[in-house]
Structure 1
Amino acid sequence: MFSCRSLLLQLLSVCSLTAPSLALPFEQRGFWDFAMDGEVGDLTTVMMRDEEGSAVEELPPDVSLCPFGCHCQLNVVQCSDLSLTAVPKEIPRDTKLLDLQNNRITELKENDFKGLTNLYALSLVNNKISKVHPRAFTPLLHLKKLYFSRNLLTVVPKNLPPSLVELRIHENRIKKVAEGTFSGLGSMNCIEMGGNPIQNSGFEPGAFKGLKLNYLRISESKLTGIPKDLPDSLHELHLDNNQIQAIELEDLSRYKPLYR
């Protein structure tokens, strides 16, 4: 049994209703910002640490291939700030980090990432994407980090890669998280989806079914209460700058890790 004082402290630290949260939303300033929690420097070191012991296929480098205007080096393909309207062709098959931010891409098609089975991190930040083919992410067997912020999505795409551990999808136009959206993902470290005009009714029953999640942020949205059926594995829940007036104890009673 937890005291009222313990609960009050938890609410103040986890989901402040009136003051901005101390945990600022993710902001990617450059391609090498793929590391989390303030980690900076050599991303390759972080990537290899995360992949240690994995069975990622090693492919010979496609040194002769690089999309026009892009920069390709050491399994990294940078195609940012090129005014691209579609995902470029001829991306090397051994690519592990693909940067497509700050372009004008409007849609992800079925074969846009064909053959990129080794891709570890994908940045689509600040495009105009409103449509994602249901099988667009199928080839991405080892994708860990997907940065999809500042686009025009109205729903969270389905069929996300099962290997995904981090999803940043804030500042879109998301109004709906459909049933089964995160099914098959297993365990994830972080989902950041603040800055979307989503209401409580936008979370369909079963949207998070089967998902084990540590960190969830739904700030600056249109929530009037804690959404139902959130993952009961949550250690951090950030709901700052919503329209929540009060929280009942029963709303948080199932999220036991929040009390630790």
Structure 2
Amino acid sequence: MLPLWLLASLLAVSQTLPFEQKGFWDFTLDDGLPMLNDEEASGAETTSGVPDLDSLTPTFSAMCPFGCHCHLRVVQCSDLGLKAVPKEISPDTTLLDLQNNDISELRRDDFKGLQHLYVSPKLYISKNHLVEIPPNLPSSLVELRIHDNRIRKVPKGVFSGLRHMNCIEMGGNPLENSGFEPGAFDGLKLNYLRISEAKLTGIPKDLPETLNELHLDHNRIQAIELEDLLRYSKLYRLGLGHNQIRMIENGSLSFLPTLRELHLDNNKLSKVPSGLPDLKLLQVVYLHTNNITKVGVNDFCPVGFGVKRAYYNGISLFNNPVPYWEVQPATFRCVTDRLAIQFGNYKK
């Protein structure tokens, strides 16, 4: 057996070897061992003459719930048939995956001790049996995936303890417009929100005005009215595909000056929405599988040169009853090239 001092020396030297990734989790190894200070890096001995082995131990906790897979600050407890949040979750945890279990309730103390997370904490609790959004989420949470549950209501103040969220995924719940209480998102700064495959008949009111992406696909939305998009001036991607939209009120899109991508495919539109030429940054428009019968020469591009700041690189119009041979070439004068336009054949 190697002497203790020699083993410790070899461990210290190994820190200088090139990094070689051998497994999926290896990308997080830079969090595993502490950096050596100048004295330790130079090989100086401690007062006892033997390197301090404690300085080489990982900084993360070794706590891991039974049956779960834990590595560094990731705790994966998905697909275990759990009926409750497991105990002994390390306070170092930054990603907690509880997806596809049988959890029907989150208790007040389920996340006790996780309030001091300091690097991008995430909670994945999709595909369970939750009937409400847990009111006791860690204040430092930045990503919440709670889709495919049984949530029907978003009460006022449920996100009040969260200030700087990046992503909330809450689709696949039987949410109706009446299920969003006024003030449900008050004070929340959020970049990405998806409420797909729900029971929405319109764009919910009072969503966070900080949104950069809003996805409401696969719902029952029938129209976009003038005030629906009034507060979302920071949106650069809007997903409204697979709804029942027949009408977009004139001027509704004028509140989206930074919009770059618009999904309106698989709806019931009979014409190209008005206002597209005024969106100077718009580059992608999905309008396929609608009832559009005519495309005008100024439906997409503004009149005059230098008005549009970014040219289109994708316009889809296939599966519409548009006689494409009647569309004037000048209609797509602000498109990067002809390959960016997709007409296809319409078959009733």
Aligned match for 2:250, one of 189, 205, 208: 205
User: Contact 1:177/1:204 (CA < 8 Å) preserved in 2?
Assistant: yes
Amino acid in structure 1 at the alignment position of 2:251: G
Matches within 5 A, 1:92-103: 92-103=138-149
- What's the counterpart of residue 302 of structure 2? 254
- What's the counterpart of residue 125 of structure 2? 79
Matching of residue 159 in structure 1 with residue 159 in structure 2? no
Matches within 5 A, 1:13-28: none
What fraction of aligned residue pairs are identical, expressed as a percent? 25
Matching of residue 243 in structure 1 with residue 291 in structure 2? yes
Matching of residue 130 in structure 1 with residue 184 in structure 2? no
- What's the counterpart of residue 99 of structure 2? none
Matching of residue 91 in structure 1 with residue 137 in structure 2? yes
Amino acid in structure 1 at the alignment position of 2:131: T
Matches within 5 A, 1:147-226: 147-199=194-246, 201=247, 203-212=248-257, 213-226=259-272
How many residues align structurally?
198
Give per-residue Cα distances to partners, 1:94-134, cap 9 Å, x unaligned.
11001111101112221221111121100012111103223
Give per-residue Cα distances to partners, 1:3-41, cap 9 Å, x unaligned.
xxxxxxxxxxxxxxxxxxxxxxxxxxxxxxxxxxxxxx9
User: Contact 1:180/1:208 (CA < 8 Å) preserved in 2?
Assistant: no
TM-score by length of 1: 0.68
User: Contact 1:127/1:150 (CA < 8 Å) preserved in 2?
Assistant: yes
- Name the SS for the 2:144 alignment partner: strand
Amino acid in structure 1 at the alignment position of 2:175: I
- Name the SS for the 1:216 alignment partner: strand
Gaps of 5+ in 2: 1-23, 29-89, 97-105, 313-333, 337-348
Amino acid in structure 2 at the alignment position of 1:112: V
Matching of residue 144 in structure 1 with residue 144 in structure 2? no
Shift of 1:251: 1.9
Shift of 1:84: 1.2
User: Contact 1:105/1:129 (CA < 8 Å) preserved in 2?
Assistant: yes
Gaps of 5+ in 1: 1-40, 46-61
Matches within 5 A, 1:107-126: 107-126=153-172
Moved more, 92-101 or 128-137: 128-137
Return the alpha-carbon distance in structure 2 between the equivalents of residues 112 and 205 of structure 1.
34
User: Contact 2:202/2:223 (CA < 8 Å) preserved in 1?
Assistant: yes
User: Contact 2:167/2:192 (CA < 8 Å) preserved in 1?
Assistant: yes
Return the alpha-carbon distance in structure 2 between the equivalents of residues 178 and 85 of structure 1.
31
Which structure has the greater CA radius of gyration? 2
Shift of 1:225: 0.8
Return the alpha-carbon distance in structure 2 between the equivalents of residues 88 and 113 of structure 1.
9
Amino acid in structure 2 at the alignment position of 1:171: H
- What's the counterpart of residue 57 of structure 2? none
Matching of residue 106 in structure 1 with residue 156 in structure 2? no
- Name the SS for the 2:164 alignment partner: coil
Amino acid in structure 1 at the alignment position of 2:126: S
User: Contact 1:125/1:148 (CA < 8 Å) preserved in 2?
Assistant: yes
Shift of 1:68: 4.1
Asked which structure has the greater RCO (Cα within 8 Å, sep 6+), the reply is 1
Shift of 1:182: 2.0
Return the alpha-carbon distance in structure 1 between the equivalents of residues 286 and 153 of structure 2.
30
